[in-house]
Amino acid sequence: MSKILGAMREACRVLLGRKPAGRRLTVYADDLFIVSYPRSGNTWTRFLIGNLLYENEPVTFLNIEKYIPAIYLWPDRVMRSLPRPRVLKSHECFDPRYKRVIYIVRDPRDVAVSYYHYAIKRNVIADGYPITEFIHRFMDGEFDLAWNWAASWGDHVLSWMSLRQGRQNFLLLRYEDMLQDTENELRKVAHLVGIEPTPKRLRRAMELSSATRMRDLEKTQGKDWKLTKGTRQDKPFVRSAHAGDWRTALPASSVAEIEQAWGSIMKQVGYDLSTELPVSQSVGSATMKV
């Protein structure tokens, strides 16, 4: 019965042209994609870029889907009608059709902590669900929002890095660098989108995208934003906006599991492993041997 209802619901969505585009999105060569694994600073980056591009109206949760829409919320029909060049948010693992990409990467240990809280917010797991248990499922990619092409953090990051790093029209941003020196990283973005990065313009974008402002906006708009509508409103979407929370939030055994699975990719991106010497030192000793 529920199967039949599901099929009818699906049919209605097709009939009304309401099926979200997702991977079926019609891609244009001039599209710019903001891509990341979930919980890696995509929304913050969207606010920054939106506030950089659009100077008439500050970005909020109520207009962000107009300026920089997520490909998962709107049908392709709507997406095709947007003015070009489009700037779009995506969580897809490598998609060869994306020609211009800003890829944000974040320390997977922090991603794991953030994802845990987000899964509670979305009622996927209950309050107090054991985090060690969660980490296993997280590492298997089970919580990725994509259907059955859900990727683990490692596959996601490596797929984009190994196929696009060093190419034109691919900008790799580290969430941690963005936190530490937002202006500098935002300047790189401005160059990619072809905007002159005047200090005034950069600062305006940063102020309008600060964690404090976003938290305030979320308080009044969280229940109406398409992404968080229907999720627990007592849990914030904009959470700590910090790097390194994993040090206190993750049990050592979970840290070890993550580092064992993705250690080589983490080092490639410049994340020191707690189970090993810091990257700078080990690189140093390798050079010494040569």
8 Å CB contact between 41 and 175: yes
Q: DSSP assignment, residue 75?
A: B
8 Å CB contact between 217 and 60: yes
Within 161-200, the residues that bind another protein by CB under 8 A are: 162-163
The correct pick among 82, 150, 192, 241 for binding another protein (CB under 8 A) is 150
**Is residue 91 within the footprint of another protein (CB under 8 A)?**
no
Q: DSSP assignment, residue 223?
A: T
The correct pick among 96, 128, 194, 199 for binding another protein (CB under 8 A) is 96
**Is residue 31 within the footprint of another protein (CB under 8 A)?**
no
Q: How far apart are CA 92 and CA 109, in angstroms?
A: 20
Rank residues 98 and 271 by Cβ distance to another protein and give the closer one.
98
CB within 8 A of 182, min separation 6: which ones? 48, 206
Distance of CA 112 to the CA centre of its chain: 13
Rank residues 27 and 195 by Cβ distance to another protein and give the closer one.
27
Rank residues 89 and 156 by Cβ distance to another protein and give the closer one.
156
Least Å distance between CB 61 and another protein?
30
Least Å distance between CB 66 and another protein?
25
Q: Which of the ranges 117-125, 145-153, 225-233, 279-287 carries the binding residues for another protein, by CB under 8 A?
A: 145-153
**Is residue 11 within the footprint of another protein (CB under 8 A)?**
yes
Q: Which helix (H) or strand (E) holds 171?
A: strand 170-174
**Is residue 149 within the footprint of another protein (CB under 8 A)?**
yes
Helix, strand, coil tally for the chain in percent (to 5): 50, 10, 40
**Is residue 145 within the footprint of another protein (CB under 8 A)?**
no
- What is the residue whose two structure tokens read 């600073």? 41
The closest of 256, 289, 261, 286 to 274, measured between CA atoms, is 256
**Is residue 35 within the footprint of another protein (CB under 8 A)?**
no
**Is residue 94 within the footprint of another protein (CB under 8 A)?**
yes
8 Å CB contact between 202 and 183: yes
In the complex, the residues that contact another protein under the rule CB under 8 A are 7-8, 10-11, 14-15, 17, 23, 27, 93-97, 141, 147-152, 155-156, 158-159, 162-163
